[in-house]
Chains A and B, each alone.
Chain A
Amino acid sequence: MFRRVAVIAEGVVKELVRRKDFYLILALLIIVVIYSASFSFGGEKGFTRYFKEMGITFTYLFSVIIGVIFAARQIPQEMESKTIYPLLAHPVSRFEFILGKFFGVFLVAAVSFTVFYSIFIGSVLLRRDFSTPWLLFADGYLLHLLLLSFFVSMTILLSLFLSTAANTMITIIFYFATNWFGATLPGYIFLPHPELFDIKEKIVHTQDVIPGWVLSYLTVYAVCYTILFVALSDLVFRKRDL
Chain B
Amino acid sequence: MIQQLVMYEEELAQINHICETLARDSNAKAVLVIDKNGQAMASAGDVHELDITSLSSLTAGNVAATGGIASLLAEKEFAGQFLEGEKISYHVSIIGQRVILVVLFDGRSSLGLVRLRVRKASVELVGVLETMVRKSASGSGQPSVFSEITDDDIDNLFND
Partners in one complex: no
